[in-house]
Amino acid sequence: MNDPLLTLLQQKARYTDLELADILSLSEAEVSARIAAWEADGTILGYRAVVDSQKVANKGVAAFIEVKVTPERGGGFDGMAMRIARFDQVVSCYLTSGGYDLMLVVRGKDLLEVARFVSEKLSTISGVISSATHFHLKTYKDNGFLFQQEELHERLPVTP
């Protein structure tokens, strides 16, 4: 990803085409055409806001689930990953290296809903060998956005 226009859009998708054109010394028409082409060919899949879930009511819970699967003949991990990714509870699905094959981000209204997803849906899929669930407790940084802006002091102040 070396394109400065794509980099700017990832940093702040709310730039206007005119602002992007000014920053990159391009014409507004050129910026609009490139963005439209990327949207049409699937390079840009969508836009989203980064939201601090601590400030949102009715936030539910999120979990990171590591999944070990048996690769499928002729398709490797792709078929299994797409089958799992289609569940409504799965927000993100990544192929990873290490002790597990897939990393999922799953959301539910509460811990029980996430647990039910794992026990009733994920673990019942043929080819799923094992999983490990880690519940999200707090976000410090997401997609380049820091959530805690004040400085953290490494040492407590000493008083006489």
Residues 6+ apart with CB under 8 A from 81: 93, 95, 102
Residue 116's domain spans which residues? 57-136
Q: Indicate the DSSP class of residue 151.
A: P
The pLDDT assigned to 36 comes to 95
28 lies in the same domain as 68: no
Quote the pLDDT of residue 107.
Answer: 95
Structural domain includes residue 152: no
User: Could you tell me if 79 and 124 lie in one domain?
Assistant: yes
Specify the pLDDT at position 152.
58
pLDDT at position 135, please? 96
Domain count, the chain: 2
Please state, as a whole number, how many other Cβ atoms lie within 10 Å of the Cβ of residue 3.
Answer: 12
Query: What is the rounded radius of gyration, in angstroms, for the C-alpha atoms of the chain?
Result: 21
Asked whether residue 92 is domain-assigned, the answer is yes
Q: Are residues 35 and 61 in the same domain?
A: no
Positive or negative, the Cα torsion across 130, 135, 140, 145?
Answer: positive
Look up residue 160 and give its amino acid: P
Which of 140, 142, 145, 121 minimizes the C-alpha distance to 131?
121
Query: Which pLDDT score is estimated for 142?
Result: 87
61 and 128 share one domain:
yes
What is the reported pLDDT for 13?
Answer: 87
| pLDDT by 10s per residue, the chain, length 160 | 578 898 888 888 889 999 999 999 999 999 999 999 999 999 999 988 877 777 776 678 999 999 999 999 888 999 999 999 999 999 999 999 999 999 999 999 999 999 999 999 999 999 999 999 999 998 898 888 888 766 656 666 677 6
Question: How many DSSP H helices and E strands does the chain contain?
Answer: 5, 6
